């Protein structure tokens, strides 16, 4: 019998690391060199918009760190206690232990208020960053094959982020959080047939009960964070495996990635950026007050303070509820509360489902099965861009509607008139936004084409011998011309005749007709470059 011997670890590889004692030390014990060699040379493209995902990541790290600090003192209990702490105005007031412990963190724990504020500000920035990051993915088409799964993972993170934020600011059991929970209980109750049972199940009986805060605590500190951590890990692994998309430019193709290596450049930049985010959040937390629960007081179900506002990311749901007419049906002794069901479940349901499924809709319309690693400039996909801006306008009107009371008091307007204005705008606004965005995108396409064909305007006016005035145009650099032309002009789907020469009907039926209609709506007015114009560009006459 013969035996083969293999070195226990990669000695040859280790040789290469001998100049770096730290790597050598780690490699001799863990054998990491071989495994990480290709990883640390991984290339990342550079663009400011790629930092948005990093802002989400770093603010989430801060949420975890400050959250651990808060759990050391927060008591998730609805047991009634009498307050005797440092905040004198509430001395002797009876409140839940949850509220009393939040007051304790704010006034009696060293750096407690700072940590509460860090946690809250980081949460606000986290959700803002996720939303803007997802919009950059949408508007640049970074969701296209092979990144559809990562789009869905990201979308789930967005929904979990909203849930986590809402759960978090509901925990202290102050007047504002209790009011938010009351709305949430109303929303659950509005679900037909199972709503009442579900509400009893969630709250352990009638609202508010004593079970909900401890349950919400477990959801907030364990369940949702664990899901977010798991999904963020999967999300980043996929970004790594699928490689990052990049903007078109000289030397950049669908097959390569041009950028900086992970080690040391990208890590140094990202690490530095992390501390910038930490610094900004700490500055905000130190200087700008957020969620002063002592000013709201403990939750009492029959009280509410004027001007109550949720955290910014819940505002669109509040607005949707506020602008809905009071429609209610009573069918065979069962009340169907459309006044709550439509604004709080159906409207956000449609908005979010549409957002999640857009990549699949677009793929169905284009029939495009190819991989895409070069990003779209939003102007070159006018319909997608216009749909995105219409969706943002819809969301924006709902969001403004959530502040109808504050807008009314600050600008001395009638709250009824405002509500009616928002009711009209929520339908009209997206249509106007769609139309304007599409026209602007097409206009920008034409301007690009003009630049490619005639060069950049220099502002220098020439007078010819005949007295004619003309502006001098400067040719674009080859790189700039490449950047402006490196995109496909998608053609609308042509259906062809309904039957072929043998009288056999076209396969595909109604589905294909629908697809052709959608394709026409999306791509029919893209600005094309004619063959003659291409020849002119190729011949280098692209400037007069
Ligand atoms: C907890 C929330 C999230 C974190 C921490 C996160 C983090 C990141 C990071 C660091 C990147 C690489 C840098 C960049 O392109 O910005 C990235 C890429 C990506 N993210 Fe997210 N993200 C989150 C949520 C989302 C959401 C809500 C979506 C979409 C609905 C999404 C979709 C994507 C996609 C498709 C990529 C690949 C982009 C490309 O290669 O160009 N992410 N994410």
How many Cβ atoms from other residues are within 10 Å of residue 376's Cβ?
20
**Residue 16 has what pLDDT?**
55
What residues contact residue 315 under an 8 Å CB cut-off, 6+ apart?
A: 309, 398, 399, 402, 403
Read off the pTM.
Answer: 0.91
Q: Is residue 157 within 6 Å of ligand 1 at its C-beta? A: yes
Q: Please tell me the distance from the alpha carbon of residue 81 to that of residue 79, in angstroms, as a whole number.
A: 6
Distance 219 CA to ligand 1 centre (A): 24
Q: Is residue 245 within 6 Å of ligand 1 at its C-beta? A: yes
Q: Is residue 142 within 6 Å of ligand 1 at its C-beta? A: yes
Q: Please tell me the distance from the alpha carbon of residue 261 to that of residue 43, in angstroms, as a whole number.
A: 4
Angle 120-123-124 from CA coordinates, rounded to 5°? 90
Name which residue sits closest to atom 37 of ligand 1, judged by CA: 239
Name which residue sits closest to atom 41 of ligand 1, judged by CA: 245
**The token pair that represents 294 in the structure block:** 């002592």
Q: What are the structural domain ranges in the chain?
A: 11-35, 46-318+336-376, 377-492+506-544
**Residue 306 has what pLDDT?**
86
**Residue 494 has what pLDDT?**
83
Mutation test of ligand 1: which of 132, 133, 363 has the most ligand atoms closer than 8 Å to its C-beta? 133
| 3-class secondary structure, 458 | strand
Q: Is residue 133 within 6 Å of ligand 1 at its C-beta? A: yes
Q: Is residue 127 within 6 Å of ligand 1 at its C-beta? A: no
Q: Is residue 244 within 6 Å of ligand 1 at its C-beta? A: yes
- Strands 43-44 and 260-261 turn out to be antiparallel
Q: Is residue 137 within 6 Å of ligand 1 at its C-beta? A: yes
Name which residue sits closest to atom 31 of ligand 1, judged by CA: 154
The answer to whether residues 491 and 523 touch, using CB atoms and an 8 Å cutoff, is yes
**Residue 34 has what pLDDT?**
74
Residue written as tokens 């595909």?
Answer: 508
Atom of ligand 1 nearest to the CA of 131: 27
What residues contact residue 126 under an 8 Å CB cut-off, 6+ apart?
A: 56, 59, 60, 63, 161, 165
Residue 323 φ then ψ, to 5°? -95, 0
**The token pair that represents 205 in the structure block:** 């009986």
Q: Which of 310, 318, 42 is nearest to 169 (CA)?
A: 310
**Residue 542 has what pLDDT?**
46
Residue 212 φ then ψ, to 5°? -65, -45
**Residue 528 has what pLDDT?**
73
Distance 239 CA to ligand 1 centre (A): 8
Which whole-number Å values give the CA distances from 395 to 174, 328, 360, in the listed order? 28, 24, 22
Angle between helices 382-401 and 404-411 (to 10 degrees): 70
Q: Is residue 158 within 6 Å of ligand 1 at its C-beta? A: yes
Which helix (H) or strand (E) element contains residue 135? helix 112-140
**Residue 4 has what pLDDT?**
45
How many Cβ atoms from other residues are within 10 Å of residue 302's Cβ?
4
**Residue 497 has what pLDDT?**
78
Q: Is residue 322 within 6 Å of ligand 1 at its C-beta? A: no
Q: Is residue 296 within 6 Å of ligand 1 at its C-beta? A: no
Angle 338-343-349 from CA coordinates, rounded to 5°? 110
Which whole-number Å values give the CA distances from 355 to 79, 143, 154, in the listed order? 42, 11, 11
Q: Walk along the chain (544 residues) and give the pLDDT tens digit of each residue.
A: 344 444 444 455 555 555 678 878 888 888 877 777 778 888 999 999 999 999 999 999 999 999 999 999 999 999 999 999 999 999 999 999 999 999 999 999 999 999 999 999 999 999 999 999 999 999 999 999 999 999 999 999 999 999 999 999 999 999 999 999 999 999 999 999 899 999 999 999 999 999 999 999 999 999 999 999 999 999 999 999 999 999 999 889 899 999 988 888 999 999 999 999 999 999 999 999 999 999 999 999 899 888 889 999 999 999 999 999 999 999 888 889 999 999 999 999 999 999 999 999 999 999 999 999 999 999 999 999 999 999 999 999 999 999 999 999 999 999 999 999 999 999 999 999 999 999 999 999 999 999 988 888 889 999 999 999 988 999 899 899 889 888 888 888 887 777 778 878 777 778 888 999 999 988 888 777 766 776 776 665 544 4
**The token pair that represents 450 in the structure block:** 């003009």
CATH topology of domain 46-318+336-376: Cytochrome Bc1 Complex; Chain C (1.20.810)
DSSP state at residue 15: H
Residue written as tokens 């009288």?
Answer: 503
**The token pair that represents 54 in the structure block:** 């990093």
| Range 472-479, long-range pairs (CB < 8 A, 24+ positions) | 473/543, 473/544, 474/543, 475/542, 475/543, 476/451, 476/452, 476/542, 476/543, 478/250, 479/249, 479/250
Name which residue sits closest to atom 1 of ligand 1, judged by CA: 157
Name which residue sits closest to atom 6 of ligand 1, judged by CA: 53
Beta partners for residue 462, in sequence order? 470
Q: Which of 266, 278, 273, 264 is nearest to 240 (CA)?
A: 266
Atom of ligand 1 nearest to the CA of 49: 16
Distance 110 CA to ligand 1 centre (A): 36
Which whole-number Å values give the CA distances from 40 to 135, 262, 266, 381, in the listed order? 29, 5, 10, 35
Mutation test of ligand 1: which of 42, 49, 137, 273 has the most ligand atoms closer than 8 Å to its C-beta? 137
DSSP letters, 306-328, are TT----GGGHHHHHHHHHS----
Maximum distance among all alpha carbons in the chain? 100
**Residue 14 has what pLDDT?**
53
Helix, strand, coil percentages, rounded to 5, for the chain: 65, 5, 30
Distance 134 CA to ligand 1 centre (A): 7
Q: Is residue 54 within 6 Å of ligand 1 at its C-beta? A: yes
Distance 170 CA to ligand 1 centre (A): 27
Atom of ligand 1 nearest to the CA of 51: 16
């Amino acid at each position: 019998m013969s035996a083969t011997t293999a070195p226990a670890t990669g000695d040859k590889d280790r040789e290469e690391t001998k100049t770096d004692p730290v790597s050598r030390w780690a490699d001799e014990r863990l054998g990491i060199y071989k495994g990480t060699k290709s990883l640390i040379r991984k290339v990342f493209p550079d663009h400011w918009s790629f930092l948005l995902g990093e802002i989400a990541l770093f603010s989430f790290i801060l949420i975890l760190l400050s959250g651990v600090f808060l759990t050391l003192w927060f008591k998730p209990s609805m047991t009634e206690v009498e307050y005797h702490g440092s905040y004198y105005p509430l001395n002797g007031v009876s409140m839940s232990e949850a509220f009393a412990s939040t007051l304790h963190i704010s006034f009696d724990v060293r750096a407690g208020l700072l940590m509460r504020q860090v946690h809250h500000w980081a949460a606000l920035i986290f959700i803002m960053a996720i939303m803007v990051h997802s919009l950059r993915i949408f508007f640049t088409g970074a969701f296209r094959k092979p990144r559809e799964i990562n789009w869905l993972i990201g979308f789930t993170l967005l929904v979990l982020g909203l849930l986590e934020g809402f759960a978090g600011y509901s925990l202290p059991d102050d007047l504002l959080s209790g009011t938010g929970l009351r709305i949430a209980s109303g929303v659950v109750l509005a679900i037909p047939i199972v709503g009442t049972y579900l509400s009893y199940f969630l709250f352990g009986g009638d609202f508010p009960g004593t079970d909900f805060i401890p349950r919400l605590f477990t959801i907030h500190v364990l369940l949702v964070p664990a899901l977010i951590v798991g999904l963020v890990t999967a999300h980043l692994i996929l970004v790594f495996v699928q490689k990052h998309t990049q903007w078109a430019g000289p030397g950049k193709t669908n097959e390569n990635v041009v950028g900086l290596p992970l080690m040391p450049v990208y890590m140094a930049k990202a690490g530095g950026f992390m501390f910038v985010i930490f610094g900004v959040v700490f500055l905000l937390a130190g200087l700008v007050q957020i969620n002063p629960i002592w000013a709201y007081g403990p939750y009492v179900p029959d009280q509410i303070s004027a001007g109550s506002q949720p955290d910014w990311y819940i505002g669109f749901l509040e607005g949707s509820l506020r602008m809905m007419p009071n429609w209610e049906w009573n069918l065979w002794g069962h009340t169907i509360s459309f006044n709550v069901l439509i604004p709080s479940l159906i409207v956000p349901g449609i908005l979010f489902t549409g957002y999640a499924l857009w990549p699949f809709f677009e793929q169905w319309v284009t029939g495009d099965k190819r991989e895409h690693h070069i990003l779209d400039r939003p102007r070159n996909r006018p319909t997608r861009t216009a749909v995105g801006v219409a969706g943002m306008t819809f969301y924006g009107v709902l969001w403004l509607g959530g502040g109808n009371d504050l807008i009314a008091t600050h600008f001395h307007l009638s709250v009824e008139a405002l509500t009616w204005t928002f009711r009209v705008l929520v339908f009209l606004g997206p249509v106007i936004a769609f139309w304007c965005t599409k026209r602007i995108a097409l206009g920008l396409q034409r301007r690009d084409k003009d630049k490619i064909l005639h060069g950049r305007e220099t502002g220098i006016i020439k007078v010819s011998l005949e007295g004619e005035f003309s502006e001098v145009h400067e040719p674009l650099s080859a790189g700039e011309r490449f950047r402006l032309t490196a995109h496909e002009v998608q053609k609308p789907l042509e259906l062809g005749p309904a039957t072929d020469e043998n009288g056999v009907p076209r396969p595909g039926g109604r589905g294909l007709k629908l697809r052709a209609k959608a394709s026409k709506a999306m791509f029919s007015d893209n600005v094309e470059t004619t063959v003659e114009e291409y020849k002119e560009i190729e011949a280098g006459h692209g400037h007069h």
